[in-house]
Amino acid sequence: MAMDADAMPDKEELPGLGELSRMLQIPCPSGREERMAAHLTARLQQLGAEPRKDNQGNLWVELPGRESGPGVAIASHIDEIAMVVTAIEADGKLRVQRSGGLYPFKLGEGPVVLVGDGQDIPAHLSFGSGHTNDPTDPVAQFNSGSRGITWRDCHLLTGLTPTQLQESGVRVGTCAVPAAGRRGPNLFGPADDPLVSAWLFDNRGGSLILLQLWCWLRDAGVTPLRRLNLCFLVQEESGLLGAKGWVRRNEVETFVAVDSTPMPRGTDLTLDGRPGTWSRDSQVHFDQGLIGELAAAAGRAGTELQYAVYSAAASDATGVLQVGGAERCATIGYPRENSHGYEVVRWSVFQHLTATLGEWVASY
């Protein structure tokens, strides 16, 4: 049945959507994940977990295993792509560059928030006026189709002087993200299994799955074979740094990254509720035996995996393999349209992916 505005479910009616909505309101650019970590810590404690945190900012929950030996990690990163201030001009305008894989066309002009030292400052991303025929003007060139808008053509309007910005905790290196009112979630499509769009699922979707997985294991009374770590890691978007640091300090034999599964042109991925797994990314081949185990678990959970090969993607599992942090690694996730933008997923994928990981842990 198609959904009209009056039939749209409340955010609390779809399992997990309220949880996602609350996470969407929390700015968490790379290097400034402390508020998301605090939120997740409180939620895990409410769910009966005892989270731990290291000095890098990584957060995790440890479930004891039935046997001793190297453990297993299932991990989501908690940071998001952003803008970073590179210069403060005399009139208070801010020059910005990307942090992670963010491009101006994904955002468009609109309200953003600067994650200052101590407070958030509202601002507005601007490309400048298009009412000109000057062939050297970047907006005129964009309007004519001769080239795209790049970060050097962008600035943030703040309405504040450099002194006021400094007093507000805004400086070179401060990050900015879209304002909360632009983030969603937005529901559309069939009422019984809607599509949901938001800025950004990557990787609040992974954190949502780990919260749901904790509840799945708790309610099913599962004690894993080996020590299991559910990890919420920092700075994936700036070099897979949280994962690399965490595995250097915590011994694991198997590492599974839970992330999005992008849908570039040429892949066979669809938004039909089935999880996706990365067979190979831009840098590594993942453990095919582990992928087979996850596929079998998906079957027991009543779904099946989709498979992808990427030429321009990497996950925390990639970084773990690069530093020799685990013998076996895989990446599994939720297919999404419009990667690094207003991303779209089929909501049922989160239930299917949670159950798949639960079945895998139960039979590991």
Q: Do domains 14-80+200-363 and 82-179 have the same CATH topology?
A: no
Q: In this predicted model, what pLDDT tens digit does every residue of 35-57 receive, in sequence order?
A: 999 999 999 999 999 999 999 99
Work out the pLDDT band at 133, boundaries 50, 70, 90: confident
Q: What is the mean pLDDT of residues 317-344?
A: 97
pLDDT at 117: 94
d(CA 87, CA 79): 23
pLDDT at 232 over 60: yes
Q: In this predicted model, what pLDDT tens digit does every residue of 86-105 receive, in sequence order?
A: 999 999 999 999 999 999 99
Q: Which carries the bigger pLDDT value, residue 61 or residue 137?
A: 61
Q: What is the mean pLDDT of residues 237-257?
A: 97
Helix H or strand E encompassing 212: helix 204-220
pLDDT at 4: 59
Q: In this predicted model, what pLDDT tens digit does every residue of 171-199 receive, in sequence order?
A: 999 999 999 999 999 999 999 999 999 99
C-beta neighbour count of 186 within 10 angstroms: 14
Task: Give the lowest-confidence range in 122-136, 161-175, 198-212, 266-280.
Answer: 122-136
Q: What is the mean pLDDT of the chain?
A: 94
pLDDT at 169 over 70: yes
pLDDT at 1: 46
Q: Are 170 and 323 in contact (CB under 8 A)?
A: no
pLDDT at 305 over 90: yes
Strand stretches in the chain, DSSP E: 52-53, 59-63, 71-77, 82-88, 94-99, 110-115, 120-126, 155-157, 175-178, 186-188, 195-198, 228-233, 252-262, 276-280, 306-309, 328-336, 343-346
Burial of 147 per CB tally in 10 Å (0-12, 13-18, 19+): exposed
Which CATH number describes the domain made up of 14-80+200-363?
3.40.630.10
Tell which CATH architecture fits domain 82-179.
Beta Barrel (2.40)
CA nearest neighbour of 285 among 331, 253, 231, 337: 331
Q: What 8-state DSSP symbol labels residue 298?
A: H
Q: Are 194 and 3 in contact (CB under 8 A)?
A: yes
pLDDT at 12: 67
Q: What are the domain boundaries of the chain?
A: 14-80+200-363, 82-179
pLDDT at 61: 98
Written as one letter, the residue type at 246 is W
pLDDT at 9 over 70: no
In the chain, the percentage of residues whose pLDDT exceeds 70 is: 97
Q: Which carries the bigger pLDDT value, residue 3 or residue 281?
A: 281
In the chain, the percentage of residues whose pLDDT exceeds 90 is: 87
Q: Model-level pTM? A: 0.94
Q: Are 207 and 49 in contact (CB under 8 A)?
A: no
